[in-house]
Amino acid sequence: MRILICPHQMGMGGSQLNAVELASAIREYGHEPLVYSPPGVLTEIVRDAGLTWIEAPPPDSPGLAWSRRLANVVRLWDVQLLHVYEWRTCLQAAFGSGRRVPMLMSVMSMEVPSFLPTHLPIVVGTPQLQQRMLAQGRTAHLLEPPVDMDRFHTVDASSARAGWGISEDELVIGVVSMLTTDLEKLQGVLEAIRVVDRLSADHPLRLLIAGDGEGRAAVEARAQAVNARHGRTVIQPLGFQLDSAPVYSAADIVLGMGSSAIKGMAHAKPLVVHGEAGFWKVLDETTAHDFLHAGWYGHGGDGARDLVTALTRLVESPALRHRLGAYGRNLVIDRYDASRAAAHLATIYSDTVLDRCPRTTQMRSLTRSAMTGARYYAAMRMGSVVAREEWARQGAYA
């Protein structure tokens, strides 16, 4: 089956990385994946994997450029299934080629915007969100962020640390994150800088920060100030890293959320999960159930105070770091192995092609989606800050 994979963008991020990695893996099941996306840093990974890449306009281009180009690609390549990632591209495809070709939506955010069509099957990344979608009457599949365990077991930690000038006595805290305000990722990185600055008075710490985004200049300015105060490298921004595995490998402790958290665990590193509104929590036997159900994320906490407590526990106990690192890696092996994810996705593809809904159901769904979507776009242009925040809480980031 020829499948057109449509990531919403090709900048570094968990959703689009998963899209590319799964597109590559699905070939083992006899499918022919094509990738339709705007250009970006991940385009190189697509080409290295031997996948066919078809350039798309940005999904937020004026007019219907993305949708029109999609229709041409579907016709010229005789596409039999669309697999579209994240809300903006899902919405555009649903009202275009998705009316004629079977279509599967994937939303890897922590919420699903209410304006997405209800007749289309959807893939989500946490059991909690799948249950919520099923309760709304949607066809919802669970596909948790996959990890290639073989790849993440072969990176040499000593070489990674030496490459960044890290001495043997330093304890490294690693962060791989987009430096944006979405889900308060940037706020978390800045808070981590403050905490590591404080703890470095008593411990030989170094914070590695891999990522890019609108907050990069602020991160680099904070790093320069902290390093000048200590007279050594305490905060080390690395910028964008096409291969983030060396960052996880070099770390003694990982901070992160979502797929970044899972990849840190794959390297057998103890993990402190970051979320919104001051959330920081160590993964251990008492917290794992909640993360496995609701996702590697959280909301609400005491901010820097919680992070100080979490890091102090881990910094002062090598035995605890080793135990929790092994515990996290075993969780990933049992739950997030990429080969099992690809097999499950192959089944979802077959179900999607076979289980198309009646045309009347499709039209009712699209009408509801159009009306709800119009309220969203009106709120983005003219609505109050409260209205925009309510949509953002649904995962509908502008």
pLDDT score for 242? 82
Q: Give 243's pLDDT tier (boundaries 50, 70, 90).
A: confident
Residue 384 has pLDDT above 70, yes or no: no
Average pLDDT of the residues in 96-107:
94
Q: Which CATH superfamily is domain 151-335 in?
A: Glycogen Phosphorylase B; (3.40.50.2000)
Assess whether pLDDT exceeds 90 at residue 287.
Answer: yes
Q: Each residue of 62-97: pLDDT tens digit?
A: 778 999 999 999 999 999 999 999 999 999 999 999
CATH topology identical between 2-146+338-393 and 151-335: yes
Q: Which of the pair, 61 or 133, is modelled with greater confidence? A: 133
Task: State the average pLDDT over residues 95-120.
Answer: 92
pLDDT of amino acid 149: 75
For domain 2-146+338-393, say whether CATH 1.10.600.10 is its number.
Answer: no
pLDDT digits (tens, 9 = 90+) for 17-30: 899 999 999 999 99
Q: What is the pLDDT of residues 160-174, one digit of tens each?
A: 999 999 999 999 999
**pLDDT for position 372:** 86
Mean pLDDT of the chain: 91
pLDDT confidence of 386, banded at 50, 70, 90?
Answer: low
Where are the domains positioned within the chain?
2-146+338-393, 151-335
Indicate the pLDDT class of residue 106, thresholds 50, 70 and 90: very high
- What pLDDT, on the 0 to 100 scale, is given for residue 236? 98
Query: In the predicted model, is pLDDT for residue 395 greater than 80?
Result: no
With a cut of 80, say whether residue 267 has pLDDT above it. yes
Average pLDDT over residues 242-271: 94
User: pLDDT for 322-369, tens place per residue?
Assistant: 999 999 999 999 999 888 999 999 999 999 999 888 889 999 999 998
Q: What is the pLDDT of residue 60?
A: 80
What is the pLDDT averaged over residues 232-259?
94
Residue 308: pLDDT band by 50, 70, 90 thresholds?
A: very high
pLDDT at 192: 98
SS3 of the chain: the string is CEEEEECCCCCCCHHHHHHHHHHHHHHHHCCEEEEEECCCCCHHHHHHCCCEEEECCCCCCCCCHHHHHHHHHHHHCCCCEEEEECHHHHHHHHCCHHHCCCEEEEECCCCCCCCCCCCCCEEECCHHHHHHHHHCCCCEEECCCCECCCHHHCCCHHHHHHHCCCCCCCEEEEEECCCCCHHHHHHHHHHHHHHHHHHCCCCCEEEEEECCCCCHHHHHHHHHHHHHHHCCCCEEEEECCCCCHHHHHHCCEEEECHHHHHHHHHCCCCEEEECECCCEEECCCCCHHHHHHHCCCCECCCCHHHHHHHHHHHHCCHHHHHHHHHHHHHHHHHHCEHHHHHHHHHHHHHHHHHCCCCHHHHHHHHHHHHHHHHHHHHHHHHCCHHHHHHHHHCCCCC
